[in-house]
Amino acid sequence: MAHTYVEVQQAVAAIREKTARVPRVGIILGSGLGSLADELEDATVIPYEAIPGFPRSTVYGHRGELAIGLLGGTPVVVMRGRFHFYEGYDMHQVTLPVRVMHALGCTTLIATNAAGGLRADWPVGELMCITDHIFMPGLAGHNPLRGANDDRLGVRFPPMLNAYTPELRALAQRVARAQGVTLQEGVYIMVAGPSFETGAELRMCQRLGADVVGMSTAPEVIVAAHAGMQVLAISLVTNQALPDGTPANHEEVMEAGAAARPRFGGLLKGIVAAL
């Protein structure tokens, strides 16, 4: 069932009971990156279970909290852990927080994720600014906009060209250069998971033109674009997803996230401060 305006407003009302702060930027933190939210100033932390309609995050490394506060002086709302299609939630449940972020006042979404690198020349720890995506579950019918459309939330047939805002990508590159951080650019392909890909599937992803592969982000970006938000998304390569490489595991994803946290966190803080 598609989101309803009432459903979104119920979640907003519950959050408003906890804080009157109006965030400008919504941030989704992927696997191993949730501790960045600990750096918020004057933060209000709300467990997901206290927000109507929010599912519970069941993945290790996702803390399941919404934090609203200041990051570099900018009012933000941060998801400490996202929801995934593979957890059994439908795409409407996965993307409800983005609707709520927008209704709270956010005009910009910054999404991060842990991803498998499909390029042998990109080592673990590489950062990639997403220029575009291939949404495999969406192409198979699991689009978060499926169902009745509420014009108060967005238009029926939203365009997805430049869903990843070019101006924000340019800003991210400027901040990265100033910090001495290498920020690659490329295409993210989303698969449903939770099993990691077979060798044949990885070869398919490479031939389709993808640079990294993951199990999130695309549905949230579609809903953000539907709502008229500007979008920036950055992937952290936490494992090399090569057809002839070593099998992936969630532990190495978490370890890579922890190792990259200072560099990735510094980049995100710099981007938010420059908005």
First to last CA, the chain: 35
Of the residues 14, 86, 142, 160, only one is catalytic, namely: 86
Q: Is 63 exposed, middle or buried (0-12, 13-18, 19+ CB in 10 A)?
A: middle
Q: 220-269, pLDDT tens digit by residue?
A: 999 999 999 999 999 999 888 899 877 776 676 677 767 777 888 889 99
- Residue 240's CB is within 10 A of a number of other CB atoms, namely 18
Q: 157-175, pLDDT tens digit by residue?
A: 999 999 999 999 999 999 9
For residue 173, what is the domain's CATH number? Answer: 3.40.50.1580
List, as one string, the DSSP characters of 161-218: TT-S-HHHHHHHHHHHHHHT--EEEEEEEE---SSPPPHHHHHHHHHTT-SEEESSSH
Enumerate the H helices of 17-112 as residue ranges.
Answer: 91-104
- 250 part of the active site: yes
Of the residues 239, 248, 256, 260, only one is catalytic, namely: 239
- Tell me the one-letter amino acid at 113: N
Residue 207 has pLDDT above 70, yes or no: yes
- 92 part of the active site: no
- 235 part of the active site: no
pLDDT of residue 249: 67
Total number of domains constituting the chain: 1
For residue 219, what are the domain limits?
5-274
- Report the candidate in 11, 98, 89 with the shortest Cα–Cα distance to residue 46: 11
- 114 part of the active site: yes
Pairing of strands 74-80, 183-190: unpaired
- 84 part of the active site: yes
- 216 part of the active site: yes
User: What is the average per-residue pLDDT within 189-212?
Assistant: 96
Of the residues 62, 92, 102, 133, only one is catalytic, namely: 62
Of the residues 7, 65, 87, 220, only one is catalytic, namely: 87
- 87 part of the active site: yes
Lowest-confidence region among 19-28, 98-107, 257-266: 257-266
Of the residues 142, 149, 201, 250, only one is catalytic, namely: 250
Of the residues 3, 7, 43, 84, only one is catalytic, namely: 84
pTM of the predicted model as reported, rounded to 2 decimal places: 0.93
